[in-house]
Amino acid sequence: MVMSESLAYSMMRVFVNWQRERRLNKVRERKQAARMANGLLAAGGGHIDLFRRLGGHSLALRVDGSIACWGYNGDGRAPPAGVPGNFVAIAAGHAHSLALRVDGSVACWGINTFGQAPPAGVPGNFVAIAAGPAHHSLALRVDGSVACWGRNDLGQAPPDGVPGNFVAIAAGTVHSLALRADGSVACWGYNGNGQAPPAGVPGNFVAIAAGWRHSLALRADGSIACWGDNGDGEAPPAGVPGKFVAIAAGGDHSLALRVDGSIACWGRNDLGQAPPDGVPGNFVAIAAGVRHSLALGADGSVACWGYNENGEATTDGVSGPFRVTQADL
């Protein structure tokens, strides 16, 4: 018996709708995985100029809550034996590191020239942390305000903090960002390249990232807004279209995690930190140092690429296993 056209059409509609719902579920799962992996990976340091190269360092949160460190350990920023403790998030600056404890306090290590990493840590009821590449630190309180410490010569870390109803923070070289609950972005600190407009940036954003002289924000629709310096193509004014679930800003390069788990890269690539063709894989989190990049795989391993003079981006990656979700915390 020949199938009627109406029956064939109905069956096709059912199949298409099923495929669409299946794809949407996969997108939702990937977005949730990226959100739950926030703060589990960090890349810091790696300053390079005409006269010197300072090594970068990398951090990853182990399954047991302790921290693995590799790369340059000047000033104790990345102790090879790692850092014991029961931590839930990590951040890496130029020469200092931060870790958020389960109780909401912050542990600090590395250089403390500007008070960015007090050895006794920072007490408080914090839910997120950020470390700038030029000696300042931020922490988001439960009440939505931001605590700041460290270098403040350009207003990047006001000692009295920043009041507001914020849900995420990011620290650039000498500028800072905070994502409001309404989806707009507040900015403070140096704005010489347009990276931190005092009036902020309106929009419906869900994540933010700050680099040396540029800023990124992930829209709810998966595309990326960029502002600030674009000398190496790290922050195209028109933004970056796509279906992304996470972003990271390095020195002069940018990364974005796609829904399918692969990574898009743009900006400076002189040391392989941002290959134009991107990085394939099944990743759940990303981090960008000044000249190196990291990605946390769904299997708990870490992939590394870019500048590796001090082992901060070992070509074989780091096997772990590392924590890939905050769900069990």
Report yes or no on 66 lying in a domain: yes
β-strand partners of 169: 178
- Give the C-alpha distances (Å, rounded to integers) separating 171 from 91, 189, 210, 222: 10, 10, 6, 22
- Give the C-alpha distances (Å, rounded to integers) separating 183 from 78, 125, 164, 170, 171: 34, 23, 13, 14, 18
Whether pLDDT at 44 is above 60: yes
Q: Kindly report the average pLDDT of the chain as a whole number.
A: 90
Contacts of 167 (CB under 8 A, 6+ apart): 140, 144, 179, 180, 181
Whether pLDDT at 37 is above 80: no
Q: Are 189 and 183 in contact (CB under 8 A)?
A: no
Higher-pLDDT residue of 139, 47: 139
Q: Are 255 and 248 in contact (CB under 8 A)?
A: yes
Q: Cα–Cα distance between 27 and 183 in angstroms, integer?
A: 20
Whether pLDDT at 138 is above 70: yes
Give the angle subtended at the CA of 329 by the CAs of 95 and 83, to the nearest 5°: 30
Contacts of 241 (CB under 8 A, 6+ apart): 223, 224
Report yes or no on 8 lying in a domain: no
Q: Are 58 and 37 in contact (CB under 8 A)?
A: no
Whether pLDDT at 319 is above 80: yes
Report yes or no on 6 lying in a domain: no
| Residue tagged 């995690």 (tokens) | 257
Q: Cα–Cα distance between 224 and 204 in angstroms, integer?
A: 11
pLDDT classification of 38: cutoffs 50, 70, 90 = confident
Report yes or no on 38 lying in a domain: yes
Report yes or no on 207 lying in a domain: yes
Lowest mean pLDDT segment, chosen from 2-6, 166-170, 272-276: 2-6
Report yes or no on 14 lying in a domain: no
| Residue tagged 């690539």 (tokens) | 269
Query: Cis link prior to 123 (omega < 30° from 0)?
Result: no
Tokens of 324: 């890939």
Note the pLDDT of residue 53.
Answer: 55
Counting the structural domains of the chain, the total is 1
Tokens of 206: 């869900």
Give mean pLDDT, residues 284-290. 97
Whether pLDDT at 3 is above 60: no
Give mean pLDDT, residues 226-251. 98
Identify how many contiguous H helices and E strands the chain contains and give both numbers: 1, 21
Report yes or no on 320 lying in a domain: no
CA-wise closest residue to 185 among 176, 172, 194? 176
pLDDT classification of 116: cutoffs 50, 70, 90 = very high
Structural domain including 133 reads 29-306
Report yes or no on 120 lying in a domain: yes
Give 92-109 pLDDT, tens digit per residue: 999 999 999 999 999 999
Give 162-192 pLDDT, tens digit per residue: 999 999 999 999 999 999 999 999 999 999 9
Whether pLDDT at 51 is above 50: no
CA-wise closest residue to 59 among 36, 45, 43, 73? 43
Lowest mean pLDDT segment, chosen from 1-5, 143-147, 243-247, 275-279: 1-5
Whether pLDDT at 196 is above 80: yes
Domain harbouring 84, CATH code: 2.130.10.30
Note the pLDDT of residue 320.
Answer: 85
